[in-house]
Amino acid sequence: MSEVDGPSCLHGYYRSTAAWRVRIALNFKGISLASVSHHLRRGEQRAPDYLRLNPQGLVPALEVGGRVLTQSLAIIEYLEETHPEPKLLPAEPLARAEVRAFALAIACDIHPIQNLRVLARLRDAGLSEPQVQAWARETIESGLAACAALIADEPGPFCFGARPTLADLCLVPQLYNGRRFGAALDQGRLLAVETACNTLPEFQAAHPDRQPDAE
């Protein structure tokens, strides 16, 4: 992969929490690039042209040096390795693993439950809309309770100390998503971390309401 060319295009959707994580990372790394929106509720992510880029039919996807990277955490770690400042992962291995564990708890265990495909399968299986919403809400609440416990003894104002990390990039979009499902979010330090993050221009500029495709 040519690192000289650098990222050229981000495929996403304004309300995708996974794409939102990547937007925050790009802002921290000072990378400005073109964006292409794929309206998830209209199924544009399943269009043949997009599936040729990302066979999973998910956003985000990052075009880099004539190739395509998928999965938000893989994209962010690529950005961390190619644009190491400011750091989004600690240098010390144990601390780095703790940040990754927090991020993965959201990206792999909490967030997928609200994926449109997952919710559609629940409806197809016969669950009522209130049951679908309750199932998603309870998953968010239990997952965030675990996340709150993971950082309970960490210094603030961010998840793991005085600087934002990959953990914060995952937490802020997930809290937004939790509000959409009416989840109880006042758990531990989570809302205080969110407040600290939202004072930073990198987080502000990545907010869904500030994206060109916002509705």
At 68, give phi and psi (nearest 5°). -130, 130
pLDDT at residue 6 above 80? no
pLDDT of 4: 43
CB 26 within 8 A of CB 60: no
Q: What is the mean pLDDT of the chain?
A: 95
pLDDT tens-place string over residues 129-139: 999 999 999 99
Domains of the chain: 10-86 (3.40.30.10), 93-204 (1.20.1050.10)
Give the span between the Cα atoms of 46 and 58, in whole angstroms: 8
pLDDT digits 0-9 by tens, 63-119? 998 899 999 999 999 999 999 999 999 999 999 999 999 999 999 999 998 888 889
- The pTM assigned to this predicted structure is 0.94
